[in-house]
Structure 1
Amino acid sequence: MQPVGAVAPLRVDIVEKTFRSAQGVSVTALKNLSFEVRQGEFACLLGPSGCGKTTTLRILLGLDRQFSGSFQLPEGGSNRIAAVFQEPTLLPWRTVEQNVRLALPKGLRAKNLDGLFDTLGLAGMRSLYPAELSLGLARRAALARAFATEPAMLFLDEPFVSLDGRTAEQLRHLLLTVWSARPTTALMVTHNLTEALMLSDRIIVLSPRPAHVLGIFDVRLPRQHRSPEATSDLLLSFHQQFPGVT
């Protein structure tokens, strides 16, 4: 891959991605999917369930190489990539702290993580094992593991799905707190429009399968001013730009 300039550190141009179903039918998941995410920007991929959002992330993470097209990841800084998935994927035989430190390069595994654990409300959980955590706390540990690496690029695949509303809202605020302390280029998959409006700088709106970009919604309002009333106005503006998209 070629280095990407500061204007567009993440560039995606997937011409086509197809796969075979269990019945042997060829299914096109992505078709002419192109977008960019700017340096230090938090962007959301918004689209209906099954449209190909997670497939896109799998391609960008190098987990799926069977596609036509290209993409360019950020270069510079740590050059590290971190991901937070729908499941926390913590090693059950390691403590919370051990799970987080295992993600670090060997030379950084002794770094001070007190601030990160404090911010995420994990200071008293560091010696616990995953089986001793609620799903919400396990998701916090997964966020800690991702941010501890100080990545150049952060991918998130619906990290708050299946949580109750209150817990999901708490984790969204925690995510913003940690990300704001050290903004990194981030791309998050979601089908929750309110979540996207709360978190992102820009929303990349995808069509139903095969996914392509319907358009971009710029969330110009600073995050500290996104009150429930302001979010209602943003929802109205979004639906005016993208009628029929929920």
Structure 2
Amino acid sequence: MPPAGVAAPLEVGVTEKIFLSATGQPVVALRDLSFSVAQGEFACLFGPSGCGKTTTLRILLGLDRDFSGSYRLPGGEDARIAAVFQEPTLLPWRTVEQNVRLVLPKARRDADLDGLFEALGLAGMRALYPGELSLGLARRVALARAFAVEPTVLFLDEPFVSLDERTAQRLRTLLMSVWSARPTTALMVTHNLHEAMVLSDRIVVLSPRPGHVAGLFDIRLPRENRSPRVISDLMRSFHEKFPGHGTP
């Protein structure tokens, strides 16, 4: 199996995505949405509510095929795709370890996951059931499940939403720790600009509906150098470049 991230860039070229409103009226969700994410890069999709961030992720995951345009995933037809959603979606009748191993192909069901569980602080919780976990711990399990498949591309849809800031920050740190040890092309949807500044190499800023790329904000500083003061400076630079986009 090739190492995670060894593949072509993620390339997105959605010409148009239309859906019907509750009253049956056509609504253009996306139009001329085009961007790419380089190999091993962690990018965030950021923009106002309703601009099509989650719709874009659903298209890339193959959950919505009713659109015009195209996209290319790293690894092509052989891409190993992992996704982390807002809800952990764990099977309540399976243990933590069973939930993680269920995503592995049969040939790898006995793979050594000790390092992954240890990195996410789950080493002592492998025999617990989802009902015995806090929401924060359940989301750690969701991260473990995603990284267990050694993905070519990782999609995350606001995985830390609704958590208190302390718990969310702890999970961001764990995510970066695991991702840095297993770098893979990643695209994450977030409403939290500070979160995007902390995590990403590139922020893809979407316009209001119909969503298209309003611009890119690249962050080339190593994450360990992103002190609160540096983040504050980055936020100021972002607001100067994208006035009105800081409060989605």
- TM-score range for the pair, normalised by the shorter chain length: over 0.9
Rounded Cα–Cα distance in structure 2 between residues aligned with 1:56 and 1:71: 10
Aligned to 1:238: 238
- How big is the shift at 1:7? 8.7
What are the within-5 Å matches in structure 2 for residues 169-208 of structure 1? 169-208=169-208
Residues 8 and 36 of structure 1 are in contact (CA less than 8 Å); yes or no, is this contact kept in structure 2?
no
Aligned residue identity for 1:54? T
Aligned to 2:155: 155
Aligned to 1:113: 113
TM-score (norm 2): 0.95
Aligned to 2:139: 139
Q: Secondary structure at the match of 1:214?
A: strand
Cα deviation digits, residues 41-74 of structure 1 (max 9, x gap): 0000001111110000000000000000000001
Aligned to 2:227: 227
Residues 196 and 203 of structure 1 are in contact (CA less than 8 Å); yes or no, is this contact kept in structure 2?
yes
Unpaired runs of 5+ residues, structure 1, are 1-5
Structure 2 residue 101 is matched with structure 1 residue 94: no
Greater mean deviation of Cα atoms: 18-27 or 161-170: 18-27
- How big is the shift at 1:16? 0.4
- How big is the shift at 1:79? 2.6
- How big is the shift at 1:238? 0.9
Rounded Cα–Cα distance in structure 2 between residues aligned with 1:57 and 1:186: 11
Rounded Cα–Cα distance in structure 1 between residues aligned with 2:158 and 2:135: 14
Unpaired runs of 5+ residues, structure 2, are 1-5
Q: Secondary structure at the match of 1:170?
A: helix
Q: Secondary structure at the match of 2:125?
A: coil
Rounded Cα–Cα distance in structure 1 between residues aligned with 2:51 and 2:140: 27
Q: How many residues align?
A: 241
Residues 86 and 159 of structure 1 are in contact (CA less than 8 Å); yes or no, is this contact kept in structure 2?
yes
Aligned to 2:3: none
Residues 206 and 213 of structure 2 are in contact (CA less than 8 Å); yes or no, is this contact kept in structure 1?
yes
Rounded Cα–Cα distance in structure 2 between residues aligned with 1:58 and 1:205: 18
Rounded Cα–Cα distance in structure 2 between residues aligned with 1:232 and 1:8: 33
Residues 52 and 210 of structure 2 are in contact (CA less than 8 Å); yes or no, is this contact kept in structure 1?
yes
Residues 91 and 99 of structure 1 are in contact (CA less than 8 Å); yes or no, is this contact kept in structure 2?
yes
Rounded Cα–Cα distance in structure 2 between residues aligned with 1:7 and 1:13: 18
- How big is the shift at 1:22? 1.6
Aligned residue identity for 1:57? L
Q: Percent identity?
A: 74
Rounded Cα–Cα distance in structure 1 between residues aligned with 2:245 and 2:89: 32
Rounded Cα–Cα distance in structure 2 between residues aligned with 1:57 and 1:7: 19
Aligned residue identity for 2:189? V
Aligned to 1:45: 45
Rounded Cα–Cα distance in structure 1 between residues aligned with 2:103 and 2:49: 30
Rounded Cα–Cα distance in structure 1 between residues aligned with 2:193 and 2:147: 24
Cα deviation digits, residues 16-40 of structure 1 (max 9, x gap): 0011112111111101100000000
- 1:8–1:235 CA distance, 2 compared to 1 (3 A): farther
Rounded Cα–Cα distance in structure 1 between residues aligned with 2:25 and 2:141: 39
| Dislocated runs of 4+, deviation >6 Å | none
Rounded Cα–Cα distance in structure 1 between residues aligned with 2:27 and 2:243: 27
- 1:179–1:152 CA distance, 2 compared to 1 (3 A): same
TM-score (norm 1): 0.95
- How big is the shift at 1:239? 1.0
Aligned residue identity for 1:199? L
Aligned residue identity for 2:222? P
